[in-house]
Amino acid sequence: MTEQAQSSTGFDQVLQFTLPDRNARGRVVRLGPVLDTVLSAHAYPGPIRQVLSEALTITALLGSLLKDQDSQLTMQAQTQDGVIDLLVCDYRNGEVRGHVRHDRARLDELGPSPSLFSLFGEGYLAITFDLAVTEQRYQGVVPLEGASLAQACENYFFQSEQVPTLIRVGVSNTPTGCVAGGLLLQHLPEGEEGRERLHVQLDHPEWEHVVALGGSVKPEELVDRDIDLETVVWRLFHEEREIRIHADRPLKRGCRCTIEHYRNILSRFGAAEIAEMKNEAGLIVVDCAFCSKEFAIDLP
């Protein structure tokens, strides 16, 4: 194993690695304090904590694929008839945030372990890449199908990107805090224009081998506080001739809500609309859905 990172990774970091002989790349992440901070913004019930934890883990994995600082990855699941009508998470510069909007009364009717379909119904998943350097935006939208958000994201890469992708997530909710871990594997493109490319050969033996090894990871391994991320990778791929470990990326909870930010947004409204938004004290109160902070803004 070729290791460039100098220390074993713990919580709130993404470890990057490649399998050169298999034309594959991977990411492994474990969220701890950052996850607790995001979840603490709202009194989410158990099933909502579970699905948001999974979503934040996947967001951290996908966001770590971005090459440029200030680029952003946004994952949004939305439906018109589900218990959850909106779930949104994003990643930028190692900062993750997310929130869920749901119907608590309908959720209580589902029991302690509702399925993805019972939570979302006929929904869709949108993944958006906002690239800072080129100022381009790429978005793919797929039906929200599968037994988990991880499977729905695999479907996104298959349908929208044609990149063979495996995603595994584990979540552990305990009285002492929540831990979530995830693994992402992808087959890298190879070939030239006019030739068949590896990333559309879904039954390529290299990829089948990687899936067989990576798919064996257990959710318990991904959330085990006593197993560092390097060990997770080593257990899965130790028979490979070479594993290249790259510098890990630290994660933190990020929310970009400020009075200046909301002033800028409100400045786009007309005087009549501004007047309707003001309360009896003449202030506009904005509630951030991500962190639950309230901002009282005084505008002329």
Angle at 287 between CA 279 and CA 61, to 5 degrees: 165
Contacts from 64-71 at CB under 8 Å and sequence distance 24+? 64/14, 64/16, 64/27, 64/29, 64/91, 64/249, 65/27, 66/91, 66/129, 66/131, 68/131, 68/132, 68/133, 69/93, 69/132, 70/132, 71/129, 71/130, 71/131, 71/132, 71/133
Q: Which CATH architecture has domain 13-253?
A: 3-Layer(bab) Sandwich (3.55)
CB-based contact 219:169 (threshold 8 Å): yes
Query: pLDDT tens, 225-266?
Result: 899 999 999 999 999 999 999 877 889 988 777 777 777 777
Break the chain into its structural domains and give their ranges.
13-253, 259-297
Using 50, 70 and 90 to split pLDDT, how confident is the model at 204?
confident
Q: Name residues whose C-beta falls within 8 Å of residue 222's C-beta, 6 or more positions apart in sequence.
A: 28, 30, 168, 169, 170, 180, 181, 182, 183, 232
pLDDT at 260: 77
Nearest one of 259, 260, 175, 172 to 224, comparing CA atoms: 172
pLDDT at 203: 65
User: What's the pTM?
Assistant: 0.85
pLDDT at 211: 94
Between 294 and 269, where is the model more confident?
Answer: 269
pLDDT at 159: 83
| pLDDT average, residue stretch 165-188 | 91
pLDDT at 289: 73
| pLDDT average, residue stretch 279-300 | 75
pLDDT at 135: 86
Nearest one of 144, 128, 34 to 86, comparing CA atoms: 144
Between 71 and 10, where is the model more confident?
Answer: 71
- In this prediction, what percent of the chain has a pLDDT beyond 90? 54
| pLDDT average, residue stretch 94-119 | 92
pLDDT at 196: 45
For the CA atoms of 255, 295, 85, 251, the dihedral, rounded to the nearest 10 degrees, stands at: 10
